[in-house]
Structure 1
Amino acid sequence: MLMLPIAATGPGGASFVQALFTSTSAVCVTGLTVVDTETFWTPFGQAVIMLLIQVGGLGIMIFAALIGLVLARKFSVRSRLNTAAEAKTVGLDDVRGIVRGIVLTALALEAATFVFLFVRFLTGYGYPPGRAAWYATFHAVSSFNNAGFALYSDNLIGFVDDPFICLPIAAAIILGGLGFPVLLQLRKELPRPLHWSMNTKLVLSATVLLLIVGTAYITLLEWDNPATFGRLDPWARVLAGFFHSVQTRTAGFNSVDIGAMHGETWLGMDVLMFIGGGPAGTAGGIKVTTFAVLFFVMVTELRGEAAVNIFGKRLPRDVHRQAITVVIIAIAAIITATGLLMVLSGESLDRTLFESVSAFATVGLSTGITPELSAPAQLVLVVLMFLGRLGPLTLGSAIALRDHRILYEYPKERPAIG
């Protein structure tokens, strides 16, 4: 669809690589671009991108289950199993209700974001009602789904000191990045935190902590940088710091030039992007729950305790192995892609590492080199975005294609560690 002449403004339409990269970035809710979304794509092309973002944000299997629900009013067993796996739920009887809940929650939060943005575009910038509605719709969908696509050539740099644009978008990103299991539980159990699951408690506490740390880190390092925060009023610098801390949750909007930031800022953002947001949502990265599990495993080992206990509950040992597997696959993918990008592009380590982490974590922030990369280098990022959205553990399990018990054990022997 993006290769159709009607999708692009220039003669001949988009090339295969341009269309493939953009569609992958949209359906993987990444936000990396190789062409200018505002000027290269027609309204038809932009609508296709928005549709891909919505489908990718809801999840392919959840979207397919929704279509099946509308058309057939029932699910096949396979569809229910696939949807349960993607929604991170258990059992089959509750899948239909969960799909409804996910779709309604997503649409409600996107509608709320739309209202804030529509009023601001209409009254604050004098947009005609039609244009205000289109821009509000596109950015509401893009923000809740943590995509980072914007209908402006400079992304959101023109709104760097406008809290009525930045804060609604940031709120939608945070909510989308919490993950649907957390949102659905908060909708039912918000006044009763004692009833919250370990997953909800981990996601909420880690999200708040990382947002605060990220805001302080980015704001302090960029405070006097004349190319980014230095030209802003003090309150606007804090707003920009918070906004970009939110973007590292895997959204990808930017209100200042990321390429002009200090290298130290990039490094910290690499870490935040790598961690990502909550599981079974629109965010990417290894997920805050994986990071939290490894942190508590480390604390338990340093204390010399036998079991990992979190919020008064004991963590199963298979979760330890899953967390370690996710991190190792993620690191291997990022290192491999970074090396390939350096060979194919000749760019520096810090820039290629930033692009690789951003692609794998489905963030979409860029130092500005992605549009200049060769077609083979861009295809490396396509594979990385797909891997990041699919999930290292899911891909590894699919490749292995085995789930069997070994009926014997080898004798134990301990190597030296550390």
Structure 2
Amino acid sequence: MNKIVRQPPKPEDHSTLFKIKERVPQTVMKEADQDAHPLQTLLYRFRELVDQSVGNSSSRIAIAAFVLVISALSSLLYTPWASQDGHSVALHDAVFTATSAVTVTGLTTVSTADQWSTFGHLVILVGAQVGGLGTLTFTSILALIVGKKLGLRSKIIAQETLNIGRLGEVGSVLRTVAFTSITIEAFIAATLIPRFIFLGEPLSQATWHGVFYAISAFNNAGFTPHTDGLVPYSHDLWVITPIALGVFIGSLGFPVILALRKNLHYRGWNLNAKLTLLGTFLLFMMGSLAWLVLEWNNPKTIGSMTLADKLLNGIFASVMTRSGGFNLVEMSDMNPVTMLLTDVLMFVGGGSASTAGGIKVTTLAVVFLAILAEARGDQFVVAFRRTIPDAVLRIAITVIMMSSVFVLLGTAAIMLISGASLDKSLFEVISAYATCGLSSGLSPDLPAAGAYVLSLLMLIGRVGTVTVATGLALRSRRRLYKFPEERPIIG
């Protein structure tokens, strides 16, 4: 009796789940085209083109989603209704602001308080909220709110983004993310609104400012509705503390927040939560101490302040330099070494899958642990009694190297376009790429070409270098063979 031999499926890099598509056979479609309305045929072919371009890659879907949202918000900000004077801003200013909002950066080429109307502020706020959660995560949450079921592709993308263990838990985790975000933002707003009322603002204005700062802080956006930003409130703990707390919590990342919500004891945390929290704490402490030491006697910043105000500024600066983008002192007034320290902290950024940018704390932790293991002569990279796979180390090295390349190329481009000095150009580029939002004052003076360069850097930094590289990759299949090994001389 003949046996039926089943051929194994060809191995592919993409998940087979992404390959499942409900397509109408071409022969059927050709017959339907004859009777279909021309507009229906055009829409179908457009959908097919988009599906072929991004449908097989979650990275391309993420990039396309960010580009679409930025394009939509740029169009809204370009309208006369978005400006206070009723005249449209320059196109590059609209694109730059929309990109800065969606990538939760906070850099601006025009004054947020003076240029944009209430409608413009609302557009910026929506962009920061959508960008903070992630465009795909936000749309998935909206689908759950209106009672729709998530598609298979949406579940897979959300699972990868939020590091969810099982596919069946995606819906409940997304609901938790939405509830957590709204709760934290509501708490910040409820804290700030009474204070703004006490400081003399009308109820409607105080409410708007409280909500604006709450969303901007938790999503690490760095936008401020006040002309002078937070500088007038530099001595007000009631205003500074909730904003700094919101930025700090948002920079941890939703996987860490969910881990803390599930179990407050460190024994119940996964490796990602442990590395993120430990790395964040160390960077926070060392950043505060270094910033205070470097600026302690600087009369332009904190040199003439009291001890309490100096400590407050040091703590606030350490939180904001890694992700938040709010500032209590002018960046251009800081010592050159302090600006270099800020460059480093901005480049590192916050936690993975967070509203913060940078190469991420876990990336730095993995590379540091690999260096430590090599110095000790250990065979494996180990942290908290867990072995870190070599693939994770390769990704970490890739992120750092690609990020460094983007920063160097961006800095060179800005210097050529604007003629600015190296320190200012490097500071602005790192702030844009790391989606931090602190500025040396260069962004408003950039020509249109410089604004577009920073906009591209903000997009790449928010989406992620690995995602961009994967989305642009020409080859998506694994190599089915292996060459012989040979060790080159290193060092």
Query: Per the shorter chain, which TM-score range?
Result: over 0.9
Q: C-alpha separation between the residues in 2 aligned to 1:211 and 1:260?
A: 22
Q: Does 1:151 align with 2:225?
A: yes
Q: C-alpha separation between the residues in 1 aligned to 2:83 and 2:375?
A: 57
Cα deviation, 1:332-374, whole Å, max 9, x if unaligned, reads 0000000000111111111100001100100000011110011
**Contact 1:61/1:86 (<8 A) preserved:** no
Work out which of the residue numbers 350, 361, 366 in structure 2 matches 1:277: 350
Q: TM-score, normalised by structure 1?
A: 0.97
| Equivalence for 1:165 | 239
| Equivalence for 2:280 | 207
Deviation at 1:72, TM superposition (A): 4.8
Q: C-alpha separation between the residues in 1 aligned to 2:134 and 2:165?
A: 17
Cα deviation, 1:255-304, whole Å, max 9, x if unaligned, reads 11111111100101111111100011101101000000000000001111
Larger Rg: 2
For the residue of structure 2 that corresponds to 1:340, the secondary structure is helix
Moved more, 10-19 or 197-206: 10-19
Moved more, 217-226 or 309-318: 217-226
Identity %: 42
Q: Does 1:96 align with 2:96?
A: no
Unaligned runs of 5+ in 2: 1-75
For the residue of structure 2 that corresponds to 1:229, the secondary structure is coil
Q: C-alpha separation between the residues in 1 aligned to 2:320 and 2:149?
A: 38
Amino acid at match of 1:163: L
Q: C-alpha separation between the residues in 2 aligned to 1:103 and 1:14?
A: 34
Amino acid at match of 2:291: I
Moved more, 157-166 or 397-406: 397-406
| Equivalence for 2:209 | 135
Cα deviation, 1:189-213, whole Å, max 9, x if unaligned, reads 01x3211000000111111111111
| Equivalence for 2:385 | 312
| Equivalence for 2:31 | none
Q: For 1:342-357, what aligned pairs fall within 5 Å after superposition?
A: 342-357=415-430
**Contact 1:174/1:249 (<8 A) preserved:** no
Q: TM-score, normalised by structure 2?
A: 0.83
Deviation at 1:11, TM superposition (A): 4.2
Amino acid at match of 1:360: Y
Deviation at 1:15, TM superposition (A): 1.8
Deviation at 1:154, TM superposition (A): 2.2
Q: C-alpha separation between the residues in 1 aligned to 2:420 and 2:90?
A: 24
* Superposition RMSD in Å: 1.2
Q: C-alpha separation between the residues in 2 aligned to 1:413 and 1:187?
A: 48
Q: For 1:164-313, what aligned pairs fall within 5 Å after superposition?
A: 164-190=238-264, 192-313=265-386
Q: For 1:2-81, what aligned pairs fall within 5 Å after superposition?
A: 2-81=77-156
Amino acid at match of 2:203: P
Runs of 4+ in 1 over 6 A off after TM superposition: none
Amino acid at match of 1:56: G
Cα deviation, 1:63-88, whole Å, max 9, x if unaligned, reads 11122223352011111122222223
CA spacing shift, 1:401–1:116, aligned 2, 3 Å:
farther
**Contact 2:93/2:451 (<8 A) preserved:** no
